[in-house]
Amino acid sequence: MVDSVIEPGLSFHRPSRAMSEAASEQASVRLRRLVEEYFDVVYRAARRFGTPPSFVDDCAQQVFLVAASKLDSMAPASERAFLLGTTFRLSKEFRRRSADVPATVDSEKVMLAGADSTPDLEEIVDRKRARLVLDDLLAEMPEDLRAAFVLYEIEGITVPEIAQVLDIAPGTAASRLRRAREAFERGVERHRARERFRGEQARVVRSALHEGREP
């Protein structure tokens, strides 16, 4: 009966090839969707996880190269968690690589330090400065706490998802998030104290200059 419905001479390689081509096309479509939907998320996470600025582009691209090789095993419901987990792991690798690269001047910080607060620049300068302050505060945090903080407070994912991304127990994820928030608050207080000190120093200098004496 089975033999009677098989066309004589039919090659069984043809359906297999067609199925392979269809699967390849589906994979390409899925990968394009992942890039369109999650590239900004991955790029932002790479930066917040501490990837050096000169490596952020490379890190984001590597994340999607890894995703392309793992599409068959990546459940649709776990796409975001997979991408963020890969970003976290790769960011550590790029930080290690950066240790062998001579330090460069952060051009964005230089620009902000010398920027005039003209009306048309003030808003964008303030936004950039706030972002750099956030980067500095995150950089002061231990790696495991920073990851939990970024995932929850910036990327908006749940504690169970953090556990999945970082491959840790939910209770550990919750504990890290609590300690990360405490560390961040301490960092904010240190930043405010530094700003108050700088403001006071600037006031003293202005007063001295106004009175015509050496500050």
> Could you give the percent of the chain with pLDDT greater than 90?
48
Which strand (E) or helix (H) includes residue 102? none
Q: How many CB atoms lie within 10 A of CB 52?
A: 20
Query: What is the rounded CA–CA span in Å between residue 14 and residue 11?
Result: 6
Alpha-carbon distance values, 143 to 35, 56, 189 (Å): 26, 17, 20
Residue 90 CB neighbour total at 10 angstroms: 23
Cα–Cα dist 148/159, whole Å: 9
Strands (E), 62-207: none
Is the pLDDT higher at 50 or at 122?
50
Residue 98 confidence (pLDDT): 72
Q: What's this model's pTM, rounded to 2 decimal places? A: 0.68
Overall average pLDDT of the 11-16 stretch: 51
Residue 85 has pLDDT above 90, yes or no: yes
Taking each helix axis as running N to C, give the angle between helix 56-69 and helix 79-98, from 0 to 180 degrees, rounded to the nearest 10. Answer: 130
Q: How far apart are CA 202 and CA 65, in angstroms?
A: 50
Question: Tens digits of per-residue pLDDT, 31-43?
Answer: 999 999 999 999 9
Q: How much is the average pLDDT of 61-68?
A: 95
Q: How far is CA 137 from CA 104, 130, 140, in A?
A: 20, 11, 5
pLDDT over threshold 70, residue 44: yes
Q: Give pLDDT tens digits for 122-162.
A: 554 456 676 777 888 898 999 999 999 999 999 999 999 99
pLDDT of residue 209: 60
Answer yes or no: are the C-beta atoms of 85 and 164 closer than 8 Å. yes
Q: How far is CA 161 from the centre of its chain?
A: 16
Which residue do the tokens 């706030």 mark? 130
Task: Determine the pLDDT at residue 204.
Answer: 61
Kindly state the percentage of the chain with pLDDT values over 70: 67
CA distance 109 to 123: 16
Average pLDDT over residues 183-210: 76
Least confident of 63-72, 97-106, 178-187, 192-201: 97-106
